[in-house]
Amino acid sequence: MVPLKPIYIYLENGLLLEGKSFGAEGTRVGEIVFNTSMTGYQEIVTDPSYAGQFVTFTMPEIGNVGCNRQDMESKAAWCKGIIVRQYQAEPSNFRSEEPLHELLKRFDVLGICDVDTRFLTKTLREEGAMMMIASTEICEKEELARLLADAPHISEVNYIEAVSTKEPYEHTTGRYDPRAFRYNDAPKPKANIVALDFGVKRNILNELTEAGMHVEVVPNSVEAETLIERYEKGDIDGVFLSNGPGDPLILKKEREKIAKLIEAKVPMFGICLGHQLLSIAHGYDTYKLKFGHHGGNHPVKNVGTGAVEITAQNHNYNVPDTITEIAEVTHTNLFDGTIEGVRYKESPILSVQHHPEASPGPHESRYVFGEFLKMIER
Angle between helices 367-377 and 202-210 (to 10 degrees): 50
Per-residue pLDDT reduced to its tens digit, 125-166: 999 999 999 999 999 999 999 999 999 999 999 999 999 999
Distance CA 351, CA 271 (A): 6
CA dist 77 to 2, 37, 43, 59, 230, Å?
20, 18, 9, 19, 33
Q: What is the mean pLDDT of residues 328-355?
A: 98
**pLDDT band at residue 213, thresholds of 50, 70 and 90?**
very high
Catalytic residues: 272, 355, 357
Q: Domain residues of the chain, as ranges?
A: 5-156, 160-377
- Domain 5-156 in CATH 3.50.30.20: yes
Partners of 241 in the beta sheet? 196, 270
| Cα(293)–Cα(316) distance, integer angstroms | 6
Asked whether the domain spanning 160-377 has the same topology as the one spanning 5-156, the reply is no
Is this model's pTM higher than 0.95 or not? yes
Q: Residue 126: CB partners within 8 Å, gap ≥ 6?
A: none
Answer CATH for 160-377 from 3.40.50.880, 3.40.630.30, 3.40.50.261, 3.40.1130.10: 3.40.50.880
Closest CA to 297 of 26, 109, 38, 16: 38
Instruction: Answer yes or no: are the C-beta atoms of 48 and 74 closer than 8 Å.
Output: yes
**DSSP per-residue letters across 344-365:** ESSSSEEEESSBTT-SSS--TT
The answer, yes or no, to whether residue 1 has pLDDT greater than 80, is no
So what's the pLDDT on residue 132?
A: 98
Does residue 221 surpass a pLDDT of 70?
yes
pLDDT at position 274 over 80: yes
